[in-house]
Structure 1
Amino acid sequence: MDYTRLDIRLGQDLVKLVAGVDEFKGRWDALKTLAPDRLQSLRKVATIESIGSSTRIEGAKLTDAQVETLLTNLKTQSFQTRDEQEVAGYAEAMDLVFQAWDDMAVTENHIRQLHKTLLRHSTKDERHRGGYKTLDNHVVAFGPDGEELGVVFATASPFDTPREMEALVAWTQKAIREEALHPLLIIAVFIVQFLAIHPFQDGNGRLSRVLTTLMLLRAGYAYVPYASLESVVEENKGQYYNALRRTQKTLAEEPDWEPWIGFFLRALKKQASVLAARVADEDMREKSQQRLHPLSQQILELFHDANRLTLSQVVKLTNANRNTVKVRMRELVASGHISQHGKARATWYELERART
């Protein structure tokens, strides 16, 4: 693609979407008035959703609950299945972005570093972690029985990939530096081009979503870690692939940016809406908690340090009368602060917001 001829003109609807996302970006400082532990809880939920959704988009089967369990044992567990390896790698790549985004400009070295981290636990991908592809990896369609139906989209050849990646990164750095386009448009162009090149043998889709988070953080969208963009994409997977293909098929001649940029901006708007609703919900919970019985407040604090608790565990930790704890737990369930699972002796509880 000739980046010197790149021209993006947005219709009124897309201009409004950009303005809406930027408006939320400006409101975030006022919205993030929750206590640090509640912000941390929002971030934890969003991280689990992001990891689960991004890997499921590419065919993994682990649920968010299974992802959460796996992440709890991330440092000590060996990962036997392909799904577990992909989840562990995605978690570590996202953690690297969250920890070091301010020092990670969009360079080929950083892109390779993130790819290497992403596939760190994938035994099948050991030979090509962090290296550009050496074999064609065109996007193909498969039938219901797994038979290949044909090429849907021809990606860059292994020979052309280094040159095309160099050109894409150079354009991106220049556009950011010179503010040639709105930051959201720069990110959208980068992602659709990155996926058209498909520079790595495997992991391109997952890496594109890690890079999206990195670029949004570097562009000042500080709320990104607290709501999952990946889950929005997963919920609209068909539209996601359709928008990508419609734009990618036009890139060689006169690019039609509207399908992809429209999807990308609507996904960002939905992400912001989800976060705004969750912050409002947390505000209500916090105000409600201030009116709770002291023992009920004590019980809720226990759940900030534990994913789930049983009645016996709560009794032991609070050193309160068992019948009194039962009453308070029923009140917390009725008020929506915690949820109850199982029956009889197998009953356990968790914070209700962990499932939102």
Structure 2
Amino acid sequence: MLQFEYGKVLQRLMMPGVVSAIGDVREHRGRQELYKSLQPAVLDRLCEVAKIQGTGASNRIENISTSEVRLRELMERKVKPANRDEREIAGYRYVLDTIHESHDSIPITPGVILQLHRDLYRFQDVSFAGRWKDSDNTIAERTEDGSMVARFVPTSAAATPSAVERICDEYARWSKGATYDPLLVSLIFVFDFVSIHPFADGNGRMSRLLMLLLSYRSGYDVGKYVSIEAEIERTKTTYYEALAASSPRWAQGESDYAPFVTYLLGVMTACYRDLDERVSLLSSSAKGEDVLRAYFAGLTGTVTKRQIMDDNPTLSRRTVERVLQRLQAEGAVKKVGAARATAYQRIDQGEVS
């Protein structure tokens, strides 16, 4: 059976690329502490937006979705789940709320992980909720000819309980020491969790929820204000590439954790940079028009009015609507779609609208 030895893994991770990446995250975290005292109202608003975006993104990665309106209503508990996808989304919201409210008092133990998994399915009647897998599973991928091939074989069902207990023990041992940053220990844990694949269903969403929980416990809580799940969804191809690069010989205890760990550190750095930009923009004395001009200048793709307001929480609906009209009249922004599908897109210089 695989013996998890985080001390050896952490030693191997002390390479220039990983050390530089963790240094970037630490630097950004230092600035975030200033934001908490200077802009508490802004951060509260960003927190609510990140919950909505994170829940939507983490579920979409697993092909679970609903409309933007229904997602927001489910997050605000204004409606009850109407189908299986919405019940899955409501369960994710419930666990995410638990993590946001109580992360420092949630121990990392097999029992707690089982409880969180049970809560993930609290709106569904499924027999596997809160239980380790009872049969072996395989992570497969579809080839160009349409056939399915095994990409990775996780830990057997029989060995899963002891494997999860072992990584929890290793996390407890190494996350409390002063030698290594607890965030690195957390990312090793997340990779091992994904590789063990301990549940019949819900492993991907559980891994992202656990990443948030462990990063908050490590003092890195950017995910409260900018959705880490959304950044993973945006870079999903790179995520799977990093996972594949770190997977070979994992069962033999010879895996290279660096690609996966470096990728997730990059995700966190991207979220911190996004937070820097948002707080800087919101803290400036710029008028609403200037804020939205700068916002569209950096925009790729389309965005709804609701998303514009989420990304610029200090602007009123009236201001957003007024500036959108002006930008459209100038030919800087164009409207696409209609009714509930209405969105807005920047018009690049020289483009014919």
The TM-score by the shorter chain falls in which range?
0.7 to 0.9
Q: Assess if the C-alpha contact under 8 Å between 2:64 and 2:85 holds in 1.
A: yes
The equivalent residue for 1:58 is 62
Q: Assess if the C-alpha contact under 8 Å between 1:246 and 1:260 holds in 2.
A: yes
In 1, Cα distance between equivalents of 2:81 and 2:61: 23
Quote the offset at 1:44 in angstroms.
Answer: 1.7
Q: Assess if the C-alpha contact under 8 Å between 1:140 and 1:148 holds in 2.
A: no
Q: Does 1:228 align with 2:232?
A: no
The equivalent residue for 1:141 is 141
Q: Please give the residue correspondences for 1:151-162 in structure 2 after superposition, counting only pairs within 5 Å.
A: 151-162=150-161
State the aligned residue count. Answer: 311
In 1, Cα distance between equivalents of 2:321 and 2:260: 48
77, 82, 94: which one pairs with 2:80? 77
In 1, Cα distance between equivalents of 2:95 and 2:271: 21
What CA deviation, in whole Å up to 9, does each residue of 1:189-233 have, x standing for no partner?
101100110111110110111111111111111332001111111
In 2 relative to 1, CA 29–287 (structure 1 residues): closer, same or farther, beyond 3 Å? farther
In 2, Cα distance between equivalents of 1:85 and 1:78: 5
Quote the offset at 1:3 in angstroms.
Answer: 2.9
In 2, Cα distance between equivalents of 1:162 and 1:56: 28
Q: Assess if the C-alpha contact under 8 Å between 2:222 and 2:268 holds in 1.
A: no
Secondary structure of residue in 1 paired with 2:186:
helix
Q: Please give the residue correspondences for 1:248-327 in structure 2 after superposition, counting only pairs within 5 Å.
A: 248-251=247-250, 252-284=252-284, 288=287
Structure 2: 5+ residue stretches without partners: 289-305, 308-317, 344-353
Q: Assess if the C-alpha contact under 8 Å between 2:175 and 2:186 holds in 1.
A: no
In 1, Cα distance between equivalents of 2:137 and 2:159: 13
The equivalent residue for 1:353 is none
Quote the offset at 1:288 in angstroms.
Answer: 3.4
TM-score under structure 1 normalisation?
0.77
In 2 relative to 1, CA 63–161 (structure 1 residues): closer, same or farther, beyond 3 Å? same
The equivalent residue for 1:11 is 15
Structure 1: 5+ residue stretches without partners: 290-306, 309-325, 351-356
The equivalent residue for 2:180 is 181
Quote the offset at 1:278 in angstroms.
Answer: 1.2
In 1, Cα distance between equivalents of 2:246 and 2:177: 25
In 2 relative to 1, CA 234–332 (structure 1 residues): closer, same or farther, beyond 3 Å? closer
The equivalent residue for 1:164 is 163
> Which has the higher mean CA deviation after the structures are superposed, 227-236 or 2-11?
2-11
> Which has the higher mean CA deviation after the structures are superposed, 248-257 or 133-142?
248-257
In 2, Cα distance between equivalents of 1:343 and 1:244: 37
Quote the offset at 1:49 in angstroms.
Answer: 1.2
**AA aligned opposite 2:273:** S
Q: Assess if the C-alpha contact under 8 Å between 2:133 and 2:199 holds in 1.
A: yes
Q: Please give the residue correspondences for 1:109-128 in structure 2 after superposition, counting only pairs within 5 Å.
A: 109-123=111-125, 126-128=126-128
Q: Assess if the C-alpha contact under 8 Å between 1:86 and 1:121 holds in 2.
A: yes
In 2, Cα distance between equivalents of 1:197 and 1:327: 50
In 2 relative to 1, CA 242–122 (structure 1 residues): closer, same or farther, beyond 3 Å? farther
Q: Assess if the C-alpha contact under 8 Å between 2:139 and 2:152 holds in 1.
A: yes
